[in-house]
Amino acid sequence: MRWLALLTLAASLFSVPALAVQPDEILKDPVLETRARALSQELRCMVCQNQSIDDSDAPLARDLRLLIRERLTAGDSDADVKAYVVSRYGDFVLLKPPFDARTLLLWLSPFILLVAGLLFLATHRRQAAAEQPLTEDERRRVEDLLSRE
């Protein structure tokens, strides 16, 4: 049993995440390739929707990776490339959408739901406590405490 745990630990330590970038996509310039990989990790695959285009095997993700590399090779900055992709696909293509008026509800909804849940629990608890009548023993103890004062 111990060997199985050690084998699992070793496999997880030495495993490398499988990335979908194909060898024919990789740029010869390592600086441009690093920029392309960083941009690919920030953009959502429109097919998978829960993966970056760097991790996705979908044909559209490959097309976007190639588009990024073309734009970088043409001399565009990272911001220019991102703006170009967003202009074609909208903010949804970004794994981290910007905080603005259009995405305000998206960013605040976790906090709104948390507060609503806490308020629900507090009112539900209060109602549950108010609905339970006192037992005879509790009633006598309350009367004793009130009579002492």
DSSP 66-110: HHHHHHHHTT--HHHHHHHHHHHH-GGGBSS---SGGGHHHHHHH
Q: Do 99 and 91 meet the contact criterion of CB atoms below 8 Å apart?
A: no
Do 67 and 21 lie in one domain? The reply is yes
**Range scoring the smallest mean pLDDT among 20-24, 109-113, 127-131:** 127-131
pTM for this structure? 0.60
Whether the predicted pLDDT of 114 surpasses 50? yes
Domain that holds residue 114: 102-148
Whether the predicted pLDDT of 145 surpasses 70? yes
> Given this model, what pLDDT does residue 129 score?
66
Tell me how crowded residue 53 is: count the other CB atoms within 10 A of its CB: 29
> Given this model, what pLDDT does residue 16 score?
46
Do 59 and 35 lie in one domain? The reply is yes
Residue range 85-102, pLDDT digits in tens: 999 988 889 988 888 888
> Given this model, what pLDDT does residue 21 score?
74
Whether the predicted pLDDT of 106 surpasses 60? yes
Looking at every residue in the chain, the average pLDDT score rounds to 84
Tell me how crowded residue 54 is: count the other CB atoms within 10 A of its CB: 22
* pLDDT (average), residues 112-125: 91
Whether the predicted pLDDT of 72 surpasses 70? yes
Do 90 and 114 lie in one domain? The reply is no
Q: Cα(81)–Cα(71) distance, rounded to whole angstroms? A: 6
Sign, CA torsion 107/112/115/116: negative
Q: Six-digit token pair at 148?
A: 């002492």
Question: What CATH number is given to the structural domain containing 46?
Answer: 1.10.8.640
Domain-embedded: residue 9 = no
